[in-house]
Amino acid sequence: MNADQLPPAAPEVTATLVETLSPRLRKRLDAAVTKLGARPAHRDGDTVTIQVDDESELRLHAPGGVVARVEDITCGCLLAPACVHRAAAACAAPTADQATEPAEQPAPKTPEPTGATEPDAAAPQETASDAQRTAADALWAAGAAVLEAGVDGAGAVTQSALLRAAHTARLRRLPRAAAAALSVVTLLRAARTGDPSYRTADLVTALAELLGTARRVGTASGAELAAVCGRARRPYSPDGSLRLYGLFTEPVVTDSGHGGVRTWVAGGDGRLFTVGDVAPGGAGRALGVADRAVRLGDSALTHRELGRAGLAVSGATVSPDGRLGAGKGVKAVTARGAAWTEPPLAALWEAPPAEQAARALRAVSRYAEPDGGGSDLLFLDVELLGAVREPGGACLLARCAGGVPVRLTVADDDPALPHRDNLALLAAAPGTRLRIIGRLVPAPHPRLTLLACSHPTGEGTVDLGLDRLRRADLPDPKARVHLAPAQPAGSGAASPLYLLERRVEQTVPAGRAALGLLGDVTAEARRIRRGGLPTAADLLIALCAAAGRRERDLFGRLLPADTDGFAAHWLAAARYTAAVSEALCSAAWNPADAAPTGDAPTGGAPADDGPAPVSPPARAHAV
């Protein structure tokens, strides 16, 4: 049995079952979760049955797809209902976030105004209520406990405390902080089960978001408080009539088991919108959905066709992140599209790359405010230079306006999608000039994941995640992969910031105690100061000092560690490193800072059996 076979369990269900266990059973809970994962399970409608042993069965009843009540988990063993099996099943099941709107939900019909207002539509509060402050304090304490214990020590009991705090925060209208807590729980489970998609950097970001949001609840007011609280559901607001022009379609395949497509369109004023179809499934569903009709009005266009055609929409509804609603009041008919070189689409490529990168960086910032709007796409005219070797493989190097060298990587490494093959073929066409669309990758050097490009022959466009290029499409069909000249690593490559970053990341898997054993970090701090980052040096010293500080009472006994103080120092270091990394990324796109192209090759000749491999990106974790 694996977690995918179990229905999602509401956070309060898991928290309640764990809290009712005796102290003795809580100590056995992690082992029970592991043991339960090795037992066979089968689904029958809304019920999943797990064979605990030869005589006992455990049942999870999930009407509507979610285990919403404690009574929906039953066990047939002699100790039930006070047994450890029910809590273990809830801890093994994915966490349900029932208050969050699905990724591609049609916009509801706008209700008539009434005397009462919905909570999300109410006027912003001036300051947080006492109940909200209490809920935020509980979230802070639960997050600090995770940081204290590290991944290895943050078992089911620690996770249940986070789930309880998340449920309370949701009831107190703090959905942003509650969502961050659920993300931390999901990543902790992925780390403890050895999920290959888990990355420590993701858990660092989730923990910093949780702690930072919980801390700001008590100090924010007015509009800032509304942003800190967040929204439980994505609002769709009326946007009248829109004339839309298709740009491209990209497949969406996530580690959460969802698959589908997202089609990007632009309005006459240059605003970007998306029309998506994402549901449980993998790469196969993504490829199949691309040829299904778009769920928007009466249009008969498929997603592939919409990426090259146009739409006239009346009664449009749009979410803050640009998703088009598909409610009953929305009407859409097929219209003429526009080439990338024709207005109004051509204007997207006229903005300087540095300006586009700054805008995209605000959208992909690790701690961006929700509903901040903006797009992470860049529209560039480039000249291909060839493949460059990197530690993870190779990527395609191109030169954009101002002579800035840009590394282009695959958007998804799934072998069922043509991303990698297409990028490898483009590496065999140095000197080709293309108009491209890519997604910014925050890095100390200009870097994009390549999503779409103009056809190498100059006719039409290519959706690189759905369409397959052939050698006959290249200017020289017999061309081999070309290795571009060596490139400097970027303005931020020599920055000693990594000395602080690795200590921030080291805390997450090992906990505070491991950082406290480092001892003197004066040499590292001195090196950081020489690199022009005195604040980073001070943060490193303060972080390590807080990790190793343990007071004693009058009898010489160690007092409990100051988890709150250590969490505050860790949060400051995490947010600082993120801000500096984003500043280095923004500076790398400035033509004045772009380093000239070198002359030395990066390695030997490519192999005869095919193109050089292209380094994969990290796949998205949520729809």
Nearest to 366, CA basis, from 571, 599, 102, 536:
571
**Per-residue pLDDT at 255:** 66
**Per-residue pLDDT at 615:** 40
> Are 137 and 118 spatial neighbours (Cβ–Cβ below 8 Å)?
no
| Lowest-confidence segment of 140-149, 210-219, 349-358, 493-502 by average pLDDT | 493-502
**Per-residue pLDDT at 622:** 33
Rounded alpha-carbon distances, angstroms, from residue 152 to 502, 548, 570: 18, 19, 18
Query: Is residue 116's pLDDT more than 50?
Result: no
Residue holding tokens 């455990």?
58
**Per-residue pLDDT at 463:** 95
Q: What percent of the chain has pLDDT over 90?
A: 50
DSSP secondary structure letters along 182-234: HHHHHHHHHHHTT-TT--HHHHHHHHHHHHHHHHHHTT-BHHHHHHHH--SS-
Query: Is residue 296's pLDDT more than 90?
Result: no
- pLDDT tens readout for residues 242-259: 999 999 999 998 766 678
Report how far residue 529's alpha carbon sits from residue 66's, in angstroms, rounded to the nearest whole number. 52
Mean pLDDT of 428-449: 92
**Per-residue pLDDT at 309:** 94
Mean pLDDT of 79-106: 74
Mean pLDDT of 483-490: 60
**Per-residue pLDDT at 591:** 75
**Per-residue pLDDT at 351:** 93
Mean pLDDT of 502-524: 88
| Lowest-confidence segment of 25-39, 103-117, 495-509 by average pLDDT | 103-117
Query: Is residue 608's pLDDT more than 50?
Result: no
Name the pLDDT band for 488 (thresholds 50, 70, 90). Answer: low
Query: Is residue 181's pLDDT more than 90?
Result: yes
Name the pLDDT band for 461 (thresholds 50, 70, 90). Answer: very high
- Contacts for 599 with CB less than 8 Å, ≥ 6 apart: 485, 486
| Lowest-confidence segment of 7-21, 523-537, 547-561 by average pLDDT | 547-561
Residue holding tokens 């009326």?
238
> Are 375 and 265 spatial neighbours (Cβ–Cβ below 8 Å)?
no
Task: Give the pairing of strands 447-454 and 405-410.
Answer: parallel
Name the pLDDT band for 176 (thresholds 50, 70, 90). Answer: very high
Stronger pLDDT, 350 or 619, i.e. the higher one: 350
Q: Which two tokens stand for residue 152?
A: 């290895």
Nearest to 611, CA basis, from 394, 463, 383, 435:
394
> Are 495 and 513 spatial neighbours (Cβ–Cβ below 8 Å)?
no
Residue 485 is given by DSSP the state B
> Are 352 and 367 spatial neighbours (Cβ–Cβ below 8 Å)?
no
Mean pLDDT of 183-196: 90
**Per-residue pLDDT at 371:** 57
Which residues face 417 on adjacent strands?
none
- pLDDT tens readout for residues 556-568: 787 778 899 999 9
Give me the residue spans of the domains in the chain. 3-92, 126-229, 237-338, 351-487, 498-551+561-588
Beta strands in 455-512 (DSSP E): 461-463
> Are 366 and 580 spatial neighbours (Cβ–Cβ below 8 Å)?
no
**Per-residue pLDDT at 493:** 56
Report how far residue 177's alpha carbon sits from residue 179's, in angstroms, rounded to the nearest whole number. 5
| Lowest-confidence segment of 191-195, 212-216, 369-373 by average pLDDT | 369-373
| Lowest-confidence segment of 118-127, 243-252, 592-601 by average pLDDT | 592-601
Q: Which amino acid is at 216?
A: R
- Contacts for 79 with CB less than 8 Å, ≥ 6 apart: none
CATH code: domain 351-487 is 2.40.50
**Per-residue pLDDT at 350:** 94
Nearest to 202, CA basis, from 445, 508, 493:
508
- Contacts for 138 with CB less than 8 Å, ≥ 6 apart: 164, 165, 168, 169
Q: What is the mean pLDDT of the chain?
A: 84
Query: Is residue 517's pLDDT more than 60?
Result: yes
Query: Is residue 56's pLDDT more than 50?
Result: yes
Mean pLDDT of 318-327: 86
Mean pLDDT of 467-482: 79
What stretches of 551-605 show up as alpha helix (H) in DSSP?
563-588
Name the pLDDT band for 613 (thresholds 50, 70, 90). Answer: very low
**Per-residue pLDDT at 495:** 80
Report how far residue 334's alpha carbon sits from residue 313's, in angstroms, rounded to the nearest whole number. 9
Query: Is residue 525's pLDDT more than 90?
Result: yes
Nearest to 294, CA basis, from 280, 271, 268, 273:
273
**Per-residue pLDDT at 120:** 44
Query: Is residue 357's pLDDT more than 80?
Result: yes
Nearest to 509, CA basis, from 198, 287, 295:
198
Mean pLDDT of 127-132: 92
Residue 462 is given by DSSP the state E
Mean pLDDT of 297-326: 89
Ramachandran angles phi, psi of 483, nearest 5°: -90, 120
> Are 159 and 151 spatial neighbours (Cβ–Cβ below 8 Å)?
no
**Per-residue pLDDT at 59:** 92
**Per-residue pLDDT at 90:** 92
Three-state secondary-structure class, residue 95: strand
**Per-residue pLDDT at 366:** 75
Stronger pLDDT, 277 or 297, i.e. the higher one: 277
3-state SS string for 81-100: CCCHHHHHHHHHCCECCCCC
DSSP secondary structure letters along 108-121: PPPPPP-SS--GGG
Question: Per mean pLDDT, which of 121-130, 142-151, 326-335 is the most reliable?
Answer: 142-151
Mean pLDDT of 84-88: 93
- Other residues' Cβ atoms within 10 Å of the Cβ of residue 121: 8
| Lowest-confidence segment of 270-284, 298-312, 359-373 by average pLDDT | 359-373
**Per-residue pLDDT at 491:** 53
**Per-residue pLDDT at 362:** 87
Q: Which two tokens stand for residue 261?
A: 């497509």
Query: Is residue 572's pLDDT more than 50?
Result: yes
519 burial via Cβ count (<10 Å: 0-12, 13-18, 19+): exposed
Name the pLDDT band for 322 (thresholds 50, 70, 90). Answer: confident
**Per-residue pLDDT at 597:** 39
Report how far residue 268's alpha carbon sits from residue 270's, in angstroms, rounded to the nearest whole number. 6
